């Protein structure tokens, strides 16, 4: 880290927009420390890092008003450092100095919140034991279209980009387009939803305690209580919950109103935490919450056959499962939305020539996104094909931020700040279509699960790529390969066929990825045809209209069946 620069302690990655405004105000780009990174360190290493620059200014930027709940944690960490000055920077960029005395007062508030979270976890454990021994309610679906209560129960803030944002907007807007009156209950303002959607703000815990995961159970109780007490919520036709870690709110609300529960399952959150993030300290309790949600849901919607197999392995009857991949809003992700001037302006903003051939990855740089594999490919191309890069004016655009970004930067080395590469940082989901429109080739370099288990994902970006009618280079991996079939496999030399949709490469194979990118650049006519074919398939099969239609069809069918425990 550079001397003389302030450090910024953040709970979540900042969006490129907020980060840009922050750095403009400061006149410098601070060195960022994230709580997620600190949590992965042994305690002594964390303290050593915090104290490594005595006399510095330590900033605490809060992009979202709900992030105030993290402030006591952030202030406590800051107070443990040797910073000369600690400042909170609010969402409006106003600055507020924080004394160590104030930080200590907030430490005691955090301690109180920690005790409350432990008590909530204990009560939830007792309730879960009871639910796991209680039958699912026999709930029928009204024939007429009515209200849907959508529950977004994630307890994280500031994340306004990624597949989850697109999925939530797609399902909610799809329900509205089907004629349903949707009430959206969440702790933060919705993104990219139709104006007709009614938003019910759920107040999160005002102060977070430690260990952090126990806050989920306090939020569980608060979420349920606020729904039940609200005068705005009328009895819905059904409940829809996007499953989140350690949360079974949908079960409580379904039983309270006596209406069906539709549960969206994108994989076990406890498994994801254990294998892709920070293992949960109370892993078994989180699994109990998942089991209760799965057992009491009348219909479970999932995105891949791999997850369907997993659900059946957990005892869910196949007639209660609907499988449909992630999809796309073809009006949002349309290549015709943006003028040439908007595309030129975006390219100019990132110092990309107007006639460059832009190869783009969009994502949250997760464990299975393969962004680091693309970075290896870019470095190899720069080292071995520099003349080719210059001749074709190739530019690599990495849009997003997340867990694997440090590896991406390490792999790129000096290229990260070269004329060949742009790292945009986190970009809000509603801005993603413009970045795709400004690109020529889109890359989906997903990798297999490290533990050898089957890849269960259905990348939302894949369908967004397809809808933009751009050439795609993607990993030949589980559902990705199925959706992009038939595909052109360079290594197998199967030749281009008129119906091919994309260039497919072996997951994790840097050489094949390079060959695929080079083929796409060198064969623009073929690449254009691939993009047009992919767009046609997306519009025919993978819009949110198709996805929501399958949900309603499945719910009507399952409500006609005799309710069983599993």
- Does any domain span residue 239? yes
Condensed to tens digits (0 to 9), the pLDDT of residues 456-510 reads 888 999 999 999 999 999 999 999 999 999 998 877 666 677 789 999 999 999 9
When pLDDT is cut at 50, 70 and 90, the band that residue 387 belongs to is: very high
When pLDDT is cut at 50, 70 and 90, the band that residue 66 belongs to is: low
**Per-residue tokens: 425:** 């940082």
**Per-residue tokens: 51:** 């104290």
Task: Classify strands 238-242 and 198-201 as parallel, antiparallel or unpaired.
Answer: unpaired
C-alpha–C-alpha distance, residues 278 and 36, integer Å? 9
C-alpha–C-alpha distance, residues 137 and 258, integer Å? 7
C-alpha–C-alpha distance, residues 335 and 28, integer Å? 36
> What's the pLDDT at 17?
78
Q: How much is the average pLDDT of 524-549?
A: 96
pLDDT at 446 over 70: yes
Condensed to tens digits (0 to 9), the pLDDT of residues 111-160 reads 888 899 999 999 999 999 999 999 999 988 766 778 999 999 988 655 55
Domain end position, chosen among 98, 127, 159: 98
Contact 429, 404 (CB under 8 A): no
pLDDT at 161 over 60: no
425, 522: one domain: yes
350, 322: one domain: no
When pLDDT is cut at 50, 70 and 90, the band that residue 419 belongs to is: confident
294, 348: one domain: no
Contact 415, 378 (CB under 8 A): yes
438, 407: one domain: yes
Please give the DSSP secondary-structure letter assigned to residue 415.
G
C-alpha–C-alpha distance, residues 126 and 122, integer Å? 7
**Per-residue tokens: 32:** 């960022």
Neighbours of 429 (CB within 10 A): 23
Half-sphere exposure of 269 (CA within 13 A, CB side): 25
Half-sphere exposure of 498 (CA within 13 A, CB side): 0
Domain count for the chain, please give it: 3
Q: How much is the average pLDDT of 73-90?
A: 82
> What's the pLDDT at 258?
94
Q: How much is the average pLDDT of 373-377?
A: 96
513, 555: one domain: no
271, 408: one domain: no
Q: Is the peptide bond before 138 cis (omega within 30 degrees of 0)?
A: no
- Does any domain span residue 122? no
**Of 329-338, 483-492, 547-556, minimum mean pLDDT range:** 483-492
303, 365: one domain: no
When pLDDT is cut at 50, 70 and 90, the band that residue 532 belongs to is: very high
440, 555: one domain: no
- Residues comprising the chain, all counted: 566
C-alpha–C-alpha distance, residues 382 and 387, integer Å? 9
436, 389: one domain: yes
* pTM (predicted TM-score): 0.83
C-alpha–C-alpha distance, residues 7 and 32, integer Å? 6
309, 352: one domain: no
Q: How much is the average pLDDT of 357-361?
A: 97
Tell me whether residue 139 is exposed, middle or buried, using C-beta atoms within 10 angstroms of its C-beta: 0 to 12, 13 to 18, 19 or more: middle
pLDDT at 554 over 60: yes
Helix and strand tally (H, E) in the chain? Answer: 21, 19
Average pLDDT score over the chain: 89
Domain end position, chosen among 98, 114, 130: 98
pLDDT at 329 over 70: yes
DSSP string, 41-86: S-HHHHHHHHTSSTT-EEEEE--SGGGGGGHHHHHHHHHTS--SEE
C-alpha–C-alpha distance, residues 509 and 358, integer Å? 21
Among residues 251, 205, 203, 197, which one has the least CA distance to residue 229? 203
pLDDT at 377 over 60: yes
Tell me whether residue 253 is exposed, middle or buried, using C-beta atoms within 10 angstroms of its C-beta: 0 to 12, 13 to 18, 19 or more: buried
Helix (H, G, I), strand (E, B) or coil at 558: helix
> What's the pLDDT at 396?
96
- Does any domain span residue 126? no
Condensed to tens digits (0 to 9), the pLDDT of residues 208-226 reads 887 888 999 999 999 999 9
> What's the pLDDT at 4?
67
In which element (H, E) is residue 492 found?
A: none
Sign of CA dihedral 115, 120, 123, 126: negative
**Per-residue tokens: 68:** 């105030």
Helix (H, G, I), strand (E, B) or coil at 502: coil
- Does any domain span residue 322? yes
| Distance (Å) of CA 381 to CA 362, 394, 400, 416 | 20, 10, 22, 14
> What's the pLDDT at 320?
96
Sign of CA dihedral 63, 69, 152, 362: positive
> What's the pLDDT at 357?
97
Angle between helices 283-296 and 100-131 (to 10 degrees): 50
Q: How much is the average pLDDT of 85-105?
A: 85
Q: Is the peptide bond before 123 cis (omega within 30 degrees of 0)?
A: no
72, 171: one domain: no
Q: How much is the average pLDDT of 175-195?
A: 91
CATH code: domain of residue 362: 3.40.50.2000
Among residues 53, 5, 8, which one has the least CA distance to residue 33? 8
pLDDT at 563 over 50: no
**Per-residue tokens: 26:** 């400061």
Domain end position, chosen among 66, 98, 130: 98
**Per-residue tokens: 305:** 């056959």
- Does any domain span residue 109? no
DSSP string, 136-176: PP--PPPSS--EEEEEE-----S---SHHHHHHHHHHHHHH
DSSP string, 382-406: HHH-HHHHHHHTEEEEEEE-STTHH
Q: Which domain holds residue 492?
A: 340-541
pLDDT at 261 over 50: yes
416, 511: one domain: yes
């Amino acid at each position: 880290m550079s001397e003389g620069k302030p450090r910024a302690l953040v709970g979540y990655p900042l969006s490129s927009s907020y980060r840009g405004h922050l750095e403009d105000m400061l006149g410098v780009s601070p060195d960022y420390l994230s709580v997620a990174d600190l949590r992965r360190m042994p305690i002594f290493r964390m303290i050593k890092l915090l104290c490594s620059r005595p006399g510095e200014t330590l900033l605490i930027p809060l992009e979202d008003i709900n992030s105030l709940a993290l402030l006591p944690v952030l202030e406590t960490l800051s107070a443990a450092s040797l910073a000369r000055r600690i400042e909170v920077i609010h969402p409006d960029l106003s600055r507020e100095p924080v004394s160590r005395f104030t930080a200590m007062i907030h430490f005691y508030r955090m301690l109180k919140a920690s005790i409350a979270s432990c008590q909530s976890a204990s009560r939830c454990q007792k309730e879960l034991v009871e639910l796991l021994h209680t039958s699912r309610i026999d709930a029928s679906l009204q024939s007429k279209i009515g209200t849907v209560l959508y529950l977004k129960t994630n307890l994280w803030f500031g994340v306004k980009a990624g597949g989850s944002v697109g999925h939530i907007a797609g399902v909610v807007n799809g329900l509205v387009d089907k004629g349903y009156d949707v009430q959206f209950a969440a702790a933060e303002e919705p993104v990219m939803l139709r104006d007709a959607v009614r938003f019910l703000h759920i107040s999160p815990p005002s102060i977070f305690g430690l260990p952090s995961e126990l806050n989920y159970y306090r939020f569980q109780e608060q979420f349920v209580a606020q729904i039940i007490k609200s005068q705005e919520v009328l009895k819905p036709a059904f409940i829809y919950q996007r499953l989140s870690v350690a949360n079974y709110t949908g079960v409580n609300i379904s039983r309270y109103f006596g209406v069906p529960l539709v549960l969206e399952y994108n994989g076990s959150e406890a498994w994801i935490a254990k294998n892709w993030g920070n293992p949960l300290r109370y892993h078994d309790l989180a699994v109990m919450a998942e089991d209760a949600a799965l057992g009491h849901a009348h219909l479970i919607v999932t995105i891949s056959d791999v997850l369907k197999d997993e659900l059946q392995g957990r005892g869910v009857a196949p007639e209660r499962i609907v499988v449909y991949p992630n999809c796309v809003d073809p009006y949002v992700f349309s290549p015709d939305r943006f003028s040439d001037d908007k595309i030129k302006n975006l390219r100019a903003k990132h110092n990309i020539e107007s006639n460059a051939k832009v190869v783009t990855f969009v994502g949250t740089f997760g464990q299975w996104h393969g962004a680091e594999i693309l970075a290896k490919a870019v470095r190899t191309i720069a080292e071995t094909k520099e003349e080719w890069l210059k001749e074709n004016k190739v530019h690599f655009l990495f849009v997003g931020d997340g867990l694997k970004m440090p590896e991406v930067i390490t792999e790129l080395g000096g290229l990260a700040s070269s004329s060949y590469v742009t790292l945009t940082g986190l970009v809000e989901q509603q801005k993603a279509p413009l970045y795709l429109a400004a690109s020529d080739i889109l890359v989906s370099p997903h990798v297999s699960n490290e533990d050898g288990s089957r890849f269960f994902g259905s990348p939302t970006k894949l369908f967004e790529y397809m809808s933009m009618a751009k050439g795609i280079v993607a990993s030949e991996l589980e559902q990705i390969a199925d959706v992009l079939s038939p595909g052109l496999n360079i290594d197998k030399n199967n030749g281009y066929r008129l119906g091919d949709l994309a260039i497919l490469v072996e997951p994790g194979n840097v050489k094949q990825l390079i060959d695929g990118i080079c083929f796409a650049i060198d064969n623009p006519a073929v690449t254009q045809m691939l993009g047009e074919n992919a767009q046609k398939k997306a519009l025919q099969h993978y819009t949110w209209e198709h996805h929501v239609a399958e949900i309603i069809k499945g719910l009507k069918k399952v409500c006609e069946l005799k309710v069983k425990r599993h």
